[in-house]
Amino acid sequence: MLEKLEELKNEFRESVAGLQDRNSLAEFKSTYLGKKGRLNDILKGMRDADTDVRKQVGGTANELKQEMQKSLDKQLQKIETTEIDAALNKNWQDITLTDSVRAKGLKAAGFHPVTLIQREIEDIFISMGFDILDGPHIEDDFHNFEALNIPDTHPARDMQDTFWFADMKHLLRTHTSTIQVRGMEANEPPFKFVGPGKVFRCEATDASHEMAFHQLEGMMVGRDISVANLIYFMKTLLAEIFRQQVNVRLRPGFFPFVEPGFELDIECLICAGKGCRVCKHTGWVELLPCGMTHPNVLKAGGIDPTQWNGFAFGLGLDRLVMMRYHIDDIRHLHGGDLRFIEQFKAY
Ligand code: FA5
């Protein structure tokens, strides 16, 4: 029996590496290790053997069985790797090649409408000599509040519900006005820049409110900047974005970091000013708060307010997208439904 086992082992070793596909491997396995396979066939003789022989043969047979199983597993892995490589080679697809993607009938990736509008606005401001700045999502109390003339005890802290980190020192920025502070820290006046980005507020969602949304901050600091300069830039922006007559209204607005402060509202384009759930039945949508930079903010940014002044604004990008494309619920924008995203320009 031991000799027969040795023979079986040699034959197995010679053939196993030659198996090329799953079917022949399964067949091979059953020939050697199956119930009616060759190993069990040899072991049939054990019934008549004495105890010592049974022990010896049993041990050897067990070792052989384990070796066979290991080799079969290894060979199966090899076969699988070859199959995967072959499939990858056959179906290889360069998704950056538009024509090849289209030719295969696959859908090309596209940009989110917020990204599209953000880039468009960046281009408008670049053409007017503005820089583009960035800032971190995780901020500290100083950049989100303190430097913006919102001290610890100021009731304006409650205007925006904040996601605080456990250390109560860091937070998810509630507005892109943090970029004003970072811009002042990094630049010597005169300067003008815009800073787009995601902001976060712990508030209930509805047709015009999200918890994570996008703003685009703007700031210009120079000598003798006036409200007329501010209004000029706001008007230019809206004319370029909408390329149609849109009704706007400017009304006083309170933000601790500007004085005077304004709310620039746009007549709701979803209902043409008649009133709907997006504009909360007022006919107007708050889009572009702005104002003349408060001297305390310039001071906190290391700028002498007796020498320099400026304006700032904070545009709500998601709401702008809604007005531009007549989207009646902000939650469509971040719901992850591909059918929604696919409606926008792909490239
Ligand atoms: C601010 O965040 C100020 N930092 C803006 C500012 C900058 C004022 C510079 C003056 C000078 P407010 O909380 O109003 O302001 O938000 C600005 C805009 O973001 C709103 O007009 C609106 O268009 C948009 N917005 C506010 N909350 C939400 C929300 N929950 N979901 C979607 N858009 C929002």
What's the average model confidence in pLDDT over 41-59?
A: 84
Q: Which of 28-37, 84-93, 122-131, 167-176 has the lowest mean pLDDT?
A: 84-93
Nearest to 312 by CA among 205, 222, 248, 220: 220
Single residue among 59, 91, 123 that ends a domain in this structure: 91
Q: Which domain holds residue 212?
A: 113-341
**Does some domain include residue 320?**
yes
The closest-lying atom of ligand 1 relative to the alpha carbon of residue 159 is: 13
Nearest to 247 by CA among 285, 289, 298: 285
d(CA 178, CA 143): 5
Query: 216 CA to middle of ligand 1, Å?
Result: 9
Q: Are residues 206 and 323 in the same domain?
A: yes
d(CA 269, CA 101): 36
267 has pLDDT over 80: yes
**Does some domain include residue 131?**
yes
CATH of the domain at 238: 3.30.930.10
210 has pLDDT over 80: yes
Q: Which of 107-121, 127-141, 152-166, 313-327 has the lowest mean pLDDT?
A: 152-166
The closest-lying atom of ligand 1 relative to the alpha carbon of residue 288 is: 21
Q: In the prediction, which pLDDT does 347 show? A: 47
Q: In the prediction, which pLDDT does 77 show? A: 95
- Ligand 1: which residue has its CA nearest to atom 3? 314
The first and second tokens of residue 168, run together, are 């109560």
Give percent of the chain above pLDDT 70: 93
107 has pLDDT over 70: no
The first and second tokens of residue 231, run together, are 């209004």
100 has pLDDT over 70: no
The closest-lying atom of ligand 1 relative to the alpha carbon of residue 219 is: 9
**Does some domain include residue 200?**
yes
DSSP-assigned letters across all residues of 155-194: GGGGGS---B-TTSSEEE-SSTTHHHHHHHHH-PSSEEEE
Q: Are residues 184 and 296 in the same domain?
A: yes
Q: Are residues 34 and 167 in the same domain?
A: no
Q: Are residues 166 and 85 in the same domain?
A: no
Q: In the prediction, which pLDDT does 58 show? A: 87
Q: Are residues 23 and 59 in the same domain?
A: yes
**Does some domain include residue 99?**
no
Ligand 1 touching residue 265 (CB < 6 A): no
**Does some domain include residue 336?**
yes
Q: Which of 32-41, 113-122, 152-161, 246-255 has the lowest mean pLDDT?
A: 152-161
What's the average model confidence in pLDDT over 46-54?
A: 82
Q: How many residues in the chain?
A: 347
Q: In the prediction, which pLDDT does 322 show? A: 94
Query: Which of 259, 319, 329 gets mutated to test ligand 1 (max ligand atoms within 8 A of its CB)?
Result: 319
Q: Are residues 22 and 160 in the same domain?
A: no
Q: Are residues 75 and 155 in the same domain?
A: no
Q: In the prediction, which pLDDT does 50 show? A: 83
- Ligand 1: which residue has its CA nearest to atom 9? 313
Q: Are residues 318 and 260 in the same domain?
A: yes
| Residue 243 binned pLDDT confidence (cut-offs 50, 70, 90) | confident
Q: Give alpha helix (H) positions in 133-283.
A: 141-144, 178-186, 227-242
Query: 316 CA to middle of ligand 1, Å?
Result: 6
Which range, 59-63, 87-91, 259-263, has the best average confidence (pLDDT)?
Answer: 259-263
The mean of the pLDDT values for the chain is 91
| Residue 328 binned pLDDT confidence (cut-offs 50, 70, 90) | very high
**Does some domain include residue 104?**
no
Q: Are residues 41 and 172 in the same domain?
A: no
Q: Are residues 73 and 214 in the same domain?
A: no
Query: 313 CA to middle of ligand 1, Å?
Result: 9
Ligand 1 touching residue 214 (CB < 6 A): no
The total of other beta-carbon atoms located within 10 Å of residue 318's CB is 21
The closest-lying atom of ligand 1 relative to the alpha carbon of residue 311 is: 11
Q: In the prediction, which pLDDT does 167 show? A: 92
Ligand 1 touching residue 312 (CB < 6 A): yes
Query: 300 CA to middle of ligand 1, Å?
Result: 22
**Does some domain include residue 102?**
no
Q: Are residues 9 and 140 in the same domain?
A: no
- How many domains would you assign to the chain? 2
| 3-state DSSP assignment of residue 3 | helix
Q: Are residues 83 and 143 in the same domain?
A: no
- 97 vs 44, more confident: 44
Q: In the prediction, which pLDDT does 1 show? A: 83
**Does some domain include residue 269?**
yes
Tell which phi-psi region holds residue 129, choosing left (phi > 0), alpha (psi between -120 and 50) or beta: left
- Ligand 1: which residue has its CA nearest to atom 25? 316
